Amino acid sequence: MKTLNYLETRSSSRYDEFDPDQDGNKNTQFADFIIDGRSLYQMLRKHDRVPSLGWGGQEHQKNMIDYFLLKKQHNYLYERYPVLVCPWCGDEECGFISVYIEREDDWIIWHDFKVEPSNQSIDIGPFYFKWDNYEKAINSTFGIAGSQ
């Protein structure tokens, strides 16, 4: 039986206001994925990657939203999508965490999280979202951290 998860997003940043690690580092702002009240960024923080939505240029943000809404397939990952990326530039060549996203009727399923390019599996998920909740959450990320 599938366990229904609830997805929301909120503006977040790599470092909090008093974090000494932010000195000399890029304090990227992004749209964090909140799954059942828990931050995906915090769950995977040890990998030093940030969520891929809500930041970057407008065209890039629209493209990422289209990926997550399965309107278009990623150029070389196919049904996998970069859910967390390099906090400095967002470039996938720097390494990223991917997730397999599929739609079954009114459900969106995130599973098989991996550290790329090493293809190392991460023991998290699967997550099952209802389409209407998921679509609203993903669309809400546009411009959440502005446009860089």
The contacts of residue 35 (CB under 8 Å, 6+ apart) are 5, 6, 7, 127
Helices (H), strands (E): how many in the chain? 3, 10
CB 7 within 8 A of CB 133: yes
Q: What is the mean pLDDT of residues 104-131?
A: 96
Question: Mean pLDDT across the chain, nearest whole number?
Answer: 88
Domain ranges (residues) in the chain: 4-139
Q: Which pLDDT does position 25 carry in this prediction?
A: 63
CB 44 within 8 A of CB 97: yes
Q: What percent of the chain has pLDDT over 70?
A: 86
Q: Which pLDDT does position 79 carry in this prediction?
A: 84
Q: Is the pLDDT assigned to residue 58 strictly greater than 70?
A: yes
